[in-house]
Amino acid sequence: MAATGTTTELGTRERLVRTASRLMQHGGYENTPVKQLVREAGATLGSLYHFFPGGKQELAVAAIHFGDEEFAALLRAGLTAHPDPAEAVEAVTGLLAEALEASDWLDGCPVTATALETVGRLPDLQAACARAFANWQELVAAKLLASGYPEEEARDLAITVVNTLEGAEMTSQVTRSRTPLLVAGRHLARLVASYRP
């Protein structure tokens, strides 16, 4: 190899995190056996417990953070696509619908499934999921604030925007249809516009 100073392709640790994020996106935490995980990541059990002494749970927290950032990137892409926040939010639903259908309705929200099954069971994971939701709300709120929305209305709208995206993404996934997401886009745009300063 030429450049041995940096990672040539992707380090084992990174492959583990990304694979865990993808598998947990599909089936959540308990439905993701570590052996399948390391196999698909092209790693071994030894590597997993080398990088994550806390085991599956520590890896899962890292995977949730990765999914958090991944979703945030898509959110940023949609939000910056239009200056107007209402149009921007609707653009996000379009991006989500596209990505979801392209994955044969499998790649839903990378956090939701894990969030629901860890409530009251695995506090570390639940906290990581809560942080992700807060992070996404913050992105939406920033867009609204930058457009002149008053502080309180911006914060509240951001909560509902993210929640509706989550709910619509789930329903689109279960029913294998773009409709819930696209309808959510229209309604959120109308709602956001109705508060326009």
Opening angle at CA 156, ends 155 and 162, nearest 5: 90
Query: Which of residues 12 and 171 has its CB atom nearest to a second copy in the complex?
Result: 171
Rounded Cα distance between 46 and 25, Å, is 24
Measure Cα distances from 129 to 76, 98, 184 in Å.
Answer: 19, 24, 23
Rounded Cα distance between 74 and 103, Å, is 15
For DNA, which residue of 27, 28, 51, 155 counts as binding (CB under 7 A)? Answer: 51
Rounded Cα distance between 165 and 189, Å, is 12
Does residue 177 come out as left (phi exceeding 0), alpha (psi in the -120 to 50 range) or beta? beta
30 lies in the site for a second copy, by CB under 8 A? yes
Residue 45 partner contact from a second copy, DNA, none using kind-dependent CB cut-offs of 5 to 8 Å: DNA
21 lies in the site for a second copy, by CB under 8 A? no
Interface positions, 86-125, toward a second copy (CB under 8 A): 104-106, 108, 112-113, 115-117, 119-121
Residues forming contacts to a second copy in the complex (CB under 8 A) are 26-28, 30-31, 104-106, 108, 112-113, 115-117, 119-121, 126, 129-130, 133-134, 156-157, 159-160, 162-168, 170-171, 173-175, 179-180, 183-184, 186-187, 190-191, 194
